[in-house]
Amino acid sequence: MLIDSHCHFDFDVFDESRDALMSRCFEQGVVGFLVPATTYASWIKLEALSESYPSWRVAYGLHPYFLEDALLSQIDFLAEQCEKNQVVAVGEIGLDCWPNAVDMQRQLAFFIRQLQVAKSLNLPVILHARKSYDLVLKCLRDTGFKSGGVVHAFNGSLEQAKRFVGQGFVLGVGGTITYPRAKKAHRVLASLGCCDFILETDSPDMPIHGFQGQANTPLSIPLIAQSVAIIRNESIEQVAAQTYNNLLRVFPKWREDLL
């Protein structure tokens, strides 16, 4: 059973193709989707769509890269939004040190507030941590956050991976590992325990090798699983079973019986 643990199926780019694409995903064995919010405005659309798609699970949060027009007061509604919609996590939240990202002090204020909400609800988080792993780890320690979650699109060192795993997190493995040149990512993945990672696409972003320049979709999950199997010298069936079990462990509100 294959799950896309991080895709933005609510984005406008999928509006004309969403139903047909999901049917193709089911045919390929991709049967569940975790869709994290990015902005306050996206919460309403995501809420409405999730009611129509029982294979979706959702998370609400404010993405660090899109905070330019966000208000800290919007976080006052985050707990209510999460509770009324039975979400599996708070996310996508975190810190982004990419060029042209929002001022870091602003990012920190939003991130810490959202961690506090997740802590109060005993919910895991979906972490965006681009070039900011050590600072994100510090924030987790400083806030006393203990509910774990997933580090989306992890691309750090093995030592950083171990530190996140030690904090109760799994690592999101996506299209990066399909690229032959991604030797560091391959070495880290090969060294991880079978309980330490889950599969994701970040659709419509982060296309896999051979599909550069195209919009990514959850149909990439079987190909990512195949790459993982080769790198770890495992079968695709092992990868599917391990990552599914890891997903249910880190997101206990997923509710397996609904799949």
The answer, yes or no, to whether residue 259 has pLDDT greater than 70, is no
Reduced to 3 states (helix: H, G, I; strand: E, B; else coil), residue 135 is helix
**Is residue 152 within 8 Å of 126, Cβ to Cβ?**
yes
**Is residue 57 within 8 Å of 251, Cβ to Cβ?**
yes
pLDDT-derived band at 31 (thresholds 50, 70, 90) equals very high
Report the alpha-carbon distance of residue 81 to residue 84 in Å, rounded: 6
pLDDT digits 0-9 by tens, 3-18: 999 999 999 999 999 9
The answer, yes or no, to whether residue 235 has pLDDT greater than 80, is yes
pLDDT digits 0-9 by tens, 103-129: 999 999 999 999 999 999 999 999 999
Tokens 């643990």 appear where? 5
Percent of the chain with pLDDT over 70: 98
Helical residues (DSSP H) of the chain, grouped into ranges: 18-27, 42-52, 78-84, 104-121, 133-143, 158-166, 183-191, 221-232, 236-250
Mean pLDDT confidence for 50-72: 96
**Is residue 60 within 8 Å of 82, Cβ to Cβ?**
yes
Percent of the chain with pLDDT over 90: 95
Give the mean pLDDT of the chain: 96
**Polymer length in residues for the chain:** 259
Mean pLDDT confidence for 60-81: 97
Listed in sequence order, the residues at least 6 apart from 180 whose beta carbon sits closer than 8 Å to its beta carbon are: 209
Structure tokens at 74: 């919007």
What was the pLDDT predicted at 85? 82
The answer, yes or no, to whether residue 164 has pLDDT greater than 70, is yes
Listed in sequence order, the residues at least 6 apart from 56 whose beta carbon sits closer than 8 Å to its beta carbon are: 9, 32, 33, 34, 35, 49, 50
pLDDT digits 0-9 by tens, 170-223: 999 999 999 999 999 999 999 999 999 999 999 999 999 999 999 999 999 999
Listed in sequence order, the residues at least 6 apart from 123 whose beta carbon sits closer than 8 Å to its beta carbon are: 82, 87, 88, 89, 90, 147, 253
Q: Which fold would CATH assign to domain 2-258?
A: TIM Barrel (3.20.20)
Classify the C-alpha dihedral 144-37-153-233 as positive or negative. positive
Domain boundaries, the chain: 2-258
Listed in sequence order, the residues at least 6 apart from 168 whose beta carbon sits closer than 8 Å to its beta carbon are: 124, 146, 147, 148, 149, 250
pLDDT-derived band at 86 (thresholds 50, 70, 90) equals confident
pLDDT-derived band at 258 (thresholds 50, 70, 90) equals very low
What was the pLDDT predicted at 84? 86
- Name the region of 148 (left: φ>0; alpha: ψ -120 to 50; beta: rest): left
Tokens 């004309």 appear where? 16
**Is residue 234 within 8 Å of 186, Cβ to Cβ?**
no
How much is the pTM?
0.97
